[in-house]
Structure 1
Amino acid sequence: MVRSGRFVPGPEHQEIVFLTGSGISARTGLGTFRGPEGLWTLAPETEQAMHAELLPESLPQLWSVWGRMAAIAAEHGPTPGHRAIARLGAPVITQNIDGLHQAAGSEVVAELHGSALFAVCLSSECRWRAPLDPGDGDRPEDHGVPATCPECGAPTRPDVVLFDETLPEAPLAQAVRLAQQAELFVVVGTSSTVFPAAQLAPTARAHGATTVLIDIAPPPETSLRAVFDHIIAEDAHEVLPDWERTLNQVGGTSFLDPF
């Protein structure tokens, strides 16, 4: 049952875990993916290129789209929400590929959908992976990495999970462990409809965690809302800094929160 009033974590919540989606990064200009104003709706050709079955022909578009998104993230930096989570010292499970949690200072980040800040080999049998320098263009060289893998010669690609691809095993296993260990499980900026990430809040709740959704426009579906003990229909970039100041007993607005 969702309780009324704004929830604030207390001293009984020693193990706080966050699950974040594109909503927490939207303020940087990255936008979200689903909904009437989402990337898939406004640029359907981009959504079409995200299917693994279209590789390798879709590589130029992948480099253009993900390289641009990585560049936007690098230029605009973490949001107040990212910074507040980092200052709380809480582990993060994220569906985002922008690296903003790490840029804010979070040390434990399970990236379920990979990272647009890295390139990998297109061959599933090769383990080559390297950081890239986000740029503007549809070639890997535009982002500071070679077009062919230096170890096996196959094409290179952004290290992001496409439709029809399985999530990386290690981050997913880490996410499940974090959900099971959480005393407070907080979902921020995600639709709560994409599996297996959508199963993490129910998993945390089943293991005794208090579950909270922070979203300026929470989903109306009763089945989605029922997973949460508290729903905060407010801007996470205001709620999370307030939480951090309360829990860390500091006052004022940090100079680190420029947005």
Structure 2
Amino acid sequence: MTPARRFVPGPEHREIIFLTGSGISARTGLGTFRGPDGLWALEPETEQAMHAGLLPDSLPQLWRVWGRMARIAREHGPTPGHRAIARLGAPVITQNIDGLHQAAGSEVVTELHGSALRAACLGEACLWSALLEPGDGSRPEDHGVPASCPRCGAPTRPDVVLFDEQLPPQALDLAMRLAQRADLFVAVGTSGVVFPAAQLAPLAAAHGATTVLVDIDPPVGSRELFDHVLAEDAHEVLPDWERRIHQVGGTSFLDPFPA
């Protein structure tokens, strides 16, 4: 195997597909979910509220948590990693709910876990949804949306996928199709162990793609799952790839990123 840190995309990689997790957004202050320093460990009451079976009683907690995350994402904006992916013009499969890929300019983004920037109806048969204005508070009105669905009157909720809920079928279908057409499949900032997202890299590999993990702290066993594992900062690796691919010298064009 080629030493991981030496890997860069080559001219043979014409279809790069990215799978991103919370690690690419952590620099904004959103943090990650799993691990000893993750949200589930630090705020166990939040993890408990993420179970679909607790609805509708958990709605105040959901609005408080996801509204705060959406606000942080909007205030801090995309990271250099998000912007590099957008400049590469690569399609993105994301497990994130923060909308930062779209904010960076990525045009093809499939959101496996929904979006904290949208509200949806709690009613199973109702398809109402709307963009929200993230704020602080435990009521939907604190985030610019009504408490009751304007179509059917059911409560409104953040449009994110909770534990025990199915992933959006259209988003998952697009993710599978993107993985199959990749000749370079790059996972960034994700543990790669949560299904069904965990099957995407093997699916891409089965269709001939080179697979790469970019994670500053790769999970145990990841070197057995990917052709290359770069234990480096994605906010340095991805802009470097973008410079090489576009043959741009220096770093003056890189977007500033506030500390």
Partner of 1:124: 124
Partner of 2:28: 28
Partner of 2:146: 146
Cα separation, 2, equivalents of 1:100 and 1:184: 22
1:114–1:247 Cα change, 3 Å: same
Alignment of 1:113-192 (within 5 A): 113-192=113-192
Aligned partner letter, 2:145: V
Alignment of 1:40-55 (within 5 A): 40-55=40-55
Aligned 8 A contact 1:22 1:96 in 2: yes
Cα separation, 2, equivalents of 1:198 and 1:4: 21
Aligned partner letter, 2:50: M
Partner of 2:236: 238
Aligned 8 A contact 2:188 2:213 in 1: yes
**Per-residue CA distance 1:185-218 (angstroms, 9 max, x = gap):** 0000001110000100000000000000000111
Identity percentage of aligned residues: 77
Partner of 2:257: 258
Cα separation, 1, equivalents of 2:2 and 2:147: 51
Displacement over 3 Å in runs of 4+: 1-5
Aligned 8 A contact 1:97 1:160 in 2: yes
The Cα of 1:255 is off from its aligned counterpart by 4.3
Aligned 8 A contact 1:91 1:109 in 2: yes
Aligned 8 A contact 1:83 1:257 in 2: no
Aligned 8 A contact 2:24 2:189 in 1: yes
Partner of 1:226: 224
1:4–1:239 Cα change, 3 Å: closer
Aligned partner letter, 2:240: D
Partner of 1:89: 89
Gaps of 5+ in 2: none
Cα separation, 2, equivalents of 1:57 and 1:210: 45
Aligned partner letter, 1:158: P
Cα separation, 1, equivalents of 2:141 and 2:53: 23
Q: What SS does structure 1 have at the residue aligned with 2:78?
A: coil
Partner of 1:247: 245
TM-score (norm 1): 0.97
The Cα of 1:219 is off from its aligned counterpart by 1.3
Cα separation, 2, equivalents of 1:229 and 1:243: 17
Partner of 1:62: 62
Gaps of 5+ in 1: none
Give the root-mean-square deviation of aligned CA atoms: 1.0
The Cα of 1:252 is off from its aligned counterpart by 2.1
Cα separation, 2, equivalents of 1:2 and 1:45: 44
Aligned 8 A contact 1:67 1:136 in 2: yes
Aligned 8 A contact 1:216 1:234 in 2: yes
Cα separation, 2, equivalents of 1:2 and 1:114: 36
Count of residue correspondences: 257
TM-score (norm 2): 0.97
Aligned 8 A contact 2:80 2:254 in 1: no
Partner of 2:111: 111
